[in-house]
Structure 1
Amino acid sequence: MQGMGETGENCPFEFNFKPETFKAGDTVSYRVTGSLEGFPFVGTLLEVHDDHVIIAGDANDPTARYRGTREDRPVVDYAEI
């Protein structure tokens, strides 16, 4: 995500977009269904499973854990939020 913003600054995050290499601690860009669809979110992977991931959605709230799909930009169901 290079050249973002009005002054061309770079995104401060380095994302892992390769689900086959996901590991706990990776930063991912994830999506949420429903009324939040289309907005990008940033989270840290806590757990990686064969068919899903667990994302820490808020660094200031350790209880904010979301189950997402295991794909380049995981999808979290709005009901999880």
Structure 2
Amino acid sequence: MQGMGEGGCPFTFNTDPATFKAGDSVSYRVTGSLEGFPFAGVLLEVHEDHVVLTSDPNDAASRMRATREARPVVREEDVC
């Protein structure tokens, strides 16, 4: 991704699913019409086979289930 490498990104993302913990910042992807765009979020919950993240930590209703991988994937229909 352009601008996501050295010095190009103001965020530090955890990209190691084995070390994910609540509060980590992650870069995530969305399927469908939003595919290809990078999104930034914060992990709220970490489970063995998935994570729950938010794009807005100040909005309690903004919760999305995603895959547990280096850049989690959210289904477009689950985007809040």
Settle same-fold status: TM greater than 0.5.
yes
- Cα separation, 1, equivalents of 2:45 and 2:58: 18
Runs of 5+ consecutive residues of structure 1 not aligned to the other structure: 5-10
Equivalenced residues, count: 75
TM-score when scaled to structure 1? 0.87
Deviation beyond 3 Å, 4+ runs, structure 1? none
State the percentage of identical aligned residues: 64
Q: How does 1:1-81 map to 2 (within 5 A)?
A: 1-4=5-8, 11-81=9-79
For structure 2, the residue ranges without an aligned partner over 5 or more in a row are none
Q: What is the CA RMSD across the aligned residues, in angstroms?
A: 1.0
Larger radius of gyration: 1
With the length of structure 2 as denominator, give the TM-score of the two structures.
0.88
Give the AA of the match of 1:18. Answer: D
